[in-house]
Each structure stands twice: as C-alpha cells, then as structure tokens.
Amino acid sequence: MNGARIRTMLPTDIDGVLQVELNCFAVPWSRVAFENEINDNDLAHYLVLEAGDRIIGYAGMWMILDEAHVTNIAVISGYRRQGLGERLLLALIGQARQLGAVSMTLEVRPSNTAAQVLYRKLGFENRGIRRQYYSDTKEDAIIMWRDGLDTDGADPLAKA
C-alpha cells in the first residue's frame, strides 16, 4: 500500500493504536500502558502506520544503552501481506541506528511463522527461548537478535 505513511506516535494516537491492539492481540496492552510508554518512558520510541487518517499499524522499541528491544509490532488484519510490517520494522531499525543501537532484539511466538520469515529476511537470528512467555497460552517465545546495526551502512537489508 503506497499511500500508507509512518510517523512518530503521539499521545493523541493512543485510541487508534488501541484499536490495532484489539485487532491483533489476544491480550492487548491497556491505555495506561501506552500512556506510560509515550509520556513517561524515556527509553520508549514508537511509530504509527497510517492509511489516510486511520492508524492501521504501529511498532515500538526501547533503547537501552546500545541495544534496541522491539516491544510491539502490529498491522491490522485487512492490511497484512502488503509489505507494511516490513516497512514498519525497517523504519524502527533506521530509528534505532540513528539513536546509536548496534543490535536489536525481539521475541516472537513459535506459531507466528509469517513474522519469523520477515525477521529472518531482515537479518534477525534465533538466539534463545523464553519459556511460557505469553500469558494467554503459556507459549514460549523465540528470542531473535540482529547485530551489526552500526556496521550495516545505510541499507537496513545489508545483512539480510
């Protein structure tokens, strides 16, 4: 979808982001959680994906020293499989690089094979398992890392 744009999340975006959460996750984050992230967490950096005036996706990370930890990435069901999740993650990688990150990590459900394919395409590798990580199903999480953000050059796909 060429008309979609990515920008920094604002406090006024929380209602739209909550709609994405409800569409995408069995255990969505709360309004208070997002308010805390946007207003009070200096480590947090969030982006929204818009189609027209509607928020159709978002992504977030925490910058901890020189590591970026992806907290969330989601695109609502009607807009998936159009490369929008990839655009969001590439934007997050670019932002992490600008903020001085040398590596990025995330967790993904073993059952979310589509996300794993995307993450591997963008240079992430499996590094471990968090047992019973997801509270709704007690499913484990695969821990994935991408190193070398500081040496990839300008192209986020350089390691892919």
* Residue-wise pLDDT tens digits, 23-39: 999 889 999 999 999 99
pLDDT of residue 7: 96
Q: What number does CATH give the domain 5-147?
A: 3.40.630.30
Is 50 catalytic? The answer is no
Q: Where are the domains of the chain?
A: 5-147
The candidate with the shortest Cα–Cα distance to 88, out of 46, 116, 117, is 46
Q: Which one of the listed residues 50, 86, 107, 139 is annotated catalytic? A: 107
Average pLDDT over residues 133-156: 81
pLDDT of 43 strictly over 70? yes
Rounded CA gap, 51 and 55, in Å?
Answer: 6
Is 134 catalytic? The answer is no
pLDDT tens profile 86-121: 999 999 999 999 999 999 999 999 999 999 999 999
pTM of the model: 0.89
Rounded CA gap, 113 and 12, in Å?
Answer: 33
Region at 13 (left for phi over 0; alpha for psi -120 to 50; beta for the rest)? alpha
**Are residues 93 and 119 in contact, defined by beta-carbon separation less than 8 angstroms?**
no
pLDDT of 156 strictly over 60? no
pLDDT tens profile 62-76: 999 999 999 999 999
